[in-house]
Amino acid sequence: MSVSIFDRAQASARFIREQLAGEVDVAVVLGSGLGAFAETLDDKIIIPYEEIPDFARSTVEGHSGRLVIGKLPSMPHNIAVMQGRFHYYEGYSLDEVTLPIRTFGAMGVRKLILTNAAGGINQNFKAGDFMLISDHINLMLISPLRGRHDHRFGDRFPDMTEVYSREYRQLAQEVAAEMGIQLHAGIYLSLQGPNYETPAEIRMMRVLGGDAVGMSTVPEAIVAKQMGMKILGISLITNTAAGIQEGQINHEEVMEMGRRVSKEFCELLRRISGRLS
């Protein structure tokens, strides 16, 4: 008999708790090229994904494949940081992609920050900008809630009116203003990938109201919302999307932009996480 996703999440949560002293208050998922934030934690405990029961493996450059748990000076409790995530395009099921979020929920975490590297659809965005996710459009055309329902995770039909917490978005804008950086707000579109989009697809997405596009985040957000977590989403605009400017798009460009804004991004996350705690 196969083990349920609920039981798998509970087993992963138990394993992680055994490594810790204290509770985890905030969880953060870091996107491509954004892993440096995890290195800023104090009293770090580093757990490779392959050691955590049922966790998948990160196979994409820029995703270190480690869970880093530690503290920030302003936080009384631990923060758990995923240095890299799992993607549907890697061949994993959405159950596997979202198991870490289910695990955080089993650990009692109710505050979640999701980050990603994204292509800018909005023509007012430029590479290096940050975008606060105000809403999303699921162009992956599949839901992580599909299949047998387990009521222990929450409602079968969870409301998606406010996936990304209005309160958290306001807090993030206040922090950005204090730092003197611009934090755009916009709608994130998620596709299966791994190929980048065509110019025609980008034109369609602009008509749909999209501001940025990527290949992650949405399945995690849906699962977190079902479980009652409050979510903040932040995209780093690593490049302009296909057809907006001349030139081709490549993963090295995404990684390089992550390195260029690393210091600013880490400080933004540090301040926001401290306020959430």
Compute the distance between CA of residue 11 and CA of residue 160 in angstroms, rounded to an integer: 28
* Residue 276 to residue 112: CA distance in whole angstroms: 10
Of the candidates 117, 212, 227, 241, the residue annotated as catalytic is: 117
Does 239 qualify as catalytic in the annotation?
yes
For every residue of 4-67, which 3-state class applies, written as one string? Answer: CHHHHHHHHHHHHHHCCCCCEEEEEEECCCCHHHHHHCEEEEEEEHHHCCCCCCCCCCCCCCEE
Q: Is 89 one of the catalytic residues?
A: yes
Q: How many CB atoms lie within 10 A of CB 33?
A: 25
Residue 230: CB atoms within 10 Å: 17
CB 199 within 8 A of CB 240: no
Known active-site residue 74: no
List 27, 49, 56, 90, catalytic entry:
90
Q: Is 229 a catalytic residue?
A: no
Which residue among the candidates 251, 262, 264, 267 is catalytic per the annotation? 251
Is 93 one of the catalytic residues?
A: no
Let me know: does 88 contact 140? Beta carbons within 8 Å: yes
Q: What is the 3-state secondary structure (H, E, C) of 109-135?
A: CCEEEEEEEEEECCCCCCCCCEEEEEE
- Catalytic residue, candidates 239, 241, 242, 257: 239
117 is an active site residue: yes
**d(C-alpha 115, C-alpha 28), whole Å:** 8
262 in catalytic set:
no
Q: From the candidates 13, 27, 32, 64, which is the catalytic residue?
A: 32
Catalytic annotation, pick one of 9, 27, 58, 63: 63
87 is catalytic: yes
Which is the catalytic residue, given 38, 205, 215, 257? Answer: 215
Q: Are 61 and 16 in contact (CB under 8 A)?
A: no
- Set 87, 140, 227, 242: catalytic member: 87
| 32 in active site | yes
Active-site residue identified among 89, 93, 255, 262: 89
Residue with tokens 């969880």: 27
Query: Which are the catalytic amino acids?
Result: 32, 63, 87, 89-90, 117, 215-216, 239, 251
